[in-house]
């Protein structure tokens, strides 16, 4: 196996970043998996958040394959506010927009006088003799190697619903600490690949976007992703997943899917 990269992105200054092999898609070595770009856009949009605000929803639209080449991110406020604010982050390669994220930041406040039932995920399995690979039939690919994967249900070797503990092994941006939000978003976009209902070597399952709604930030280094995919009879699909830490739910993710035979 190849060595893991030092981070998903190397900062180049003035809003420019160089993606490393850790961002590599399993389908095209020259393209990025959707998780790292989503996390980078939301991370940079966070600079526009006001005091006491945190991300409540992140919606990412992919405007085509995201090339694994030098990119630029521009951040702009859409709806400033002290309690509720909307920020847009746009990623471009060679002057062409390739992904756009909109992030709602919500102001935190006092604890409401109600209790939400806590649903905790299965415990973290012991580490195996060899690391588990994501979609092992697709070979050794950068994003799959940049995270640890420990399944609690389902399997990387067969289609269907699955649940897996994930741990991001490298920083999002070299020289910067990995944030809790980045841990969630790097993993969230893997939901459709983990829970695909059809063999991905014979079928396309393309998510043109991803929406992650956040309850709170995760604690610790591991995030559990429990996901499933539903298919319609006209070539579309819906993938949904619940992300948790050991104390319970932290977020939900949803992805529309274009399903076609390769």
3-state secondary structure of 31: strand
What's residue 2's pLDDT? 59
Choose between 163 and 141: higher pLDDT. Answer: 163
pLDDT above 60 for 160: yes
User: Quick check: 58 pLDDT over 60?
Assistant: yes
Tally of residues, the chain: 262
Which pair of structure tokens corresponds to residue 58? 């992140």
Torsion over CA: 94, 99, 100, 105 (sign): negative
| Main-chain phi, psi angles of 160, to 5 degrees | 120, 175
pLDDT of residue 127: 84
Q: Can you name the CATH fold of 9-107+131-261?
A: Porin (2.40.160)
What sign does the dihedral 132-202-24-213 (CA atoms) show?
Answer: negative
Q: For residue 118, what are the contacts with CB-CB under 8 A and spacing of at least 6?
A: 247, 248
**Backbone φ, ψ for residue 120 (5° rounding):** -95, 145
Coil, helix or strand at residue 215:
coil
Domain boundaries, the chain: 9-107+131-261
Judge whether 74 and 97 are in contact, CB under 8 Å. no
For 71, the enclosing helix (H) or strand (E) is: strand 71-79
> Which residues have CB under 8 Å from 183's CB, separation 6+?
168, 218, 221, 223
pLDDT value at residue 115: 84
For 213-251, what is each residue's pLDDT tens digit? Answer: 999 999 999 999 999 999 999 999 999 999 999 999 999
**Cα–Cα distance list, 68 to 92, 118, 141, 176, 250 (Å):** 11, 40, 13, 20, 30
pLDDT of residue 129: 52
Rounded Cα distance, 8 and 174, in Å: 7
The token pair at 183 is 């841990």
Give every CB contact of residue 117 below 8 A, 6+ residues apart in sequence: none
Q: Are 243 and 225 within 8 A, CB to CB?
A: yes
Token pair for residue 68? 């694994």
Q: Is the pLDDT of residue 130 over 90?
A: no
């Amino acid at each position: 196996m190849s060595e893991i990269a030092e981070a998903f992105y190397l900062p180049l200054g003035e809003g420019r970043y160089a993606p490393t092999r850790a961002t590599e898609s399993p389908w095209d070595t020259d393209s990025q998996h959707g998780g790292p770009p989503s996390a980078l856009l939301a991370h940079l949009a966070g600079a526009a958040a006001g005091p006491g605000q945190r991300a409540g929803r992140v919606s990412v639209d992919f405007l085509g394959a995201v090339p694994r080449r030098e990119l630029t991110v521009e951040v702009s406020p859409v709806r400033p506010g002290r309690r509720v604010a909307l920020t847009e982050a746009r990623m471009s390669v060679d002057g062409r927009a390739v992904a756009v994220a909109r992030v709602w930041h919500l102001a935190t406040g006092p604890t409401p006088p109600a209790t939400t039932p806590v649903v905790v995920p299965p415990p973290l399995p012991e580490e195996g003799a060899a690391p588990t690979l994501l979609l092992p039939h697709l070979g050794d690919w950068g994003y799959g190697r940049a995270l640890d994967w420990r399944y609690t249900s389902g399997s990387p070797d067969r289609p269907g619903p699955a649940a897996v503990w994930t741990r991001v092994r490298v920083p999002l941006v070299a020289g910067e600490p990995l944030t809790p939000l980045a841990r969630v978003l790097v993993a969230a976009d893997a939901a459709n690949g983990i829970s695909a209902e059809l063999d991905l070597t014979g079928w396309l399952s393309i998510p043109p976007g991803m929406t992650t709604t956040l309850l709170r930030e995760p604690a610790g280094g591991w995030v559990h992703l429990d996901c499933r995919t539903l298919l319609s009879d006209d070539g579309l699909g819906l993938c949904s997943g619940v992300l948790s830490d050991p104390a319970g739910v932290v977020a939900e993710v949803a992805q529309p899917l274009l399903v076609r035979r390769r």
